[in-house]
Amino acid sequence: MLAIFLKTLPFFALIALGYGAGRLRIFPPEATAWLTKFVFYFALSAMLFKLTVTLSFAQLWDPVFAAAYLAATAGLYALQFALSRLRGVSLAEATIEAQTGCIGNTGFLGIPMLAVLLGPASNGPILMVLTIDMIIFSSLVTLLITAARSGRLGLSSIRSLALGLVQNPMIVSMVAGFAWSAAALPVPGPMMETLTLLGSAATPCALFAIGASLAGRSAERLAVAGWLSFSKLILHPAMAALMAFAVFPVDRQAAGVMIAAAALPVAGNIYILAQHYRVAPQRVSAAILLSTAFSIVTVPLVIAWATGA
């Protein structure tokens, strides 16, 4: 347990460094926005392309793993949605709360951290979690909020959703990497060195950007945000463990990766959606802040338990 904590500590130290820089205004919000764009469009995309170009689709796609993670996340999503509706919140708010309670920061925190902590064998499962989160649940929240607002789903909404997926650089980089791998194309040395150099910037820049972005968040609606943070940090990995160990015959090592990924704090892009649709942005912001702070303790604990370390 201590070894895992010490390995995760540098990752959270970089987040804390970014947070301090943001609070002291050494790194203002404008700089955070541009650093985030650099990571999203260049560094993280290079890392994902490099990972996928060395994998075959068969190495990534495990239908049993996908079914287990999908069942765990969808089950918690439905539970959160139902509990929110019982509190009397609107359909749109219930959707945002459900998304907040079960979608983690896999892209900016999970891939850089878990790949280092759990080794190269974790790359396939981590990418599968990221793909399911981006394609299925990011689409679901958009469709549900649109339907709640307009009372129906129009062709324009679906077209915009499809366009958004196609324009997502993380999806594009993974598809390009798998296409390159499937075509058995060689990766020239200078190209691989460029990808390595650019991709190596993803981890420190992404972690610093997470911390800097947290500096501007408020901690309002703490009761609801606390429950959503508990859901993400504790209930989600518990559901993943239940599905991976008791319901689906998931490989033991892959199950450990799934549970570790499920233990990640709330994804930052949910705040962007909440802000865009003007649906409970303060609630989401507080949940991101709380879950990231508490994950310093909970993530090492869950990883140690899930991997037997």
Per-residue pLDDT of the chain (309 residues; tens, 9 = 90+): 677 788 888 889 999 999 999 999 899 989 988 998 899 889 989 988 988 888 777 777 889 999 999 999 999 999 999 999 999 999 889 999 999 999 999 988 888 888 888 888 888 899 999 989 988 998 888 888 877 766 655 566 667 666 766 777 888 898 898 888 888 888 899 999 999 999 999 889 988 988 888 887 766 667 899 999 999 999 999 999 999 999 999 999 999 999 999 999 999 888 878 877 888 888 888 899 899 999 999 999 999 998 875
Residue 44 located in a structural domain:
no
What pLDDT digit, counting tens, does each position of 237-263 carry? 999 999 999 999 999 999 999 999 999
- Residue 83: partners with Cβ closer than 8 Å, 6 or more residues away: none
Any domain includes 112: yes
Per the structure, the complete domain to which residue 126 belongs is given by 2-34+56-166+181-307
CA distances from 109 to 57, 146, 175, 260 (A): 23, 29, 21, 12
In a domain, 7, yes or no: yes
Partners of 266 in beta bridges:
104
Given the structure tokens 């010490």, which residue do they identify? 6
Please state the domain count of the chain: 1
Mean pLDDT, rounded, of the chain: 87
Q: What is the pLDDT of residue 260?
A: 95
Residue 90 lies in a domain: yes
CB-facing half-sphere around the CA of 208: CA atoms within 13 A: 19
The residue count of the chain comes to 309
Answer yes or no: is 257 within a domain: yes
Asked, for residue 135, whether it belongs to a domain, the answer is: yes
In angstroms, rounded to a whole number, what is the distance separating the alpha carbons of residues 53 and 43?
Answer: 15
In a domain, 40, yes or no: no
Classify residue 12: in a domain, yes or no. yes
**pTM (predicted TM-score):** 0.87
Instruction: Provide the CATH number for the domain around residue 70.
Output: 1.20.1530
pLDDT at residue 152, rounded to an integer: 59
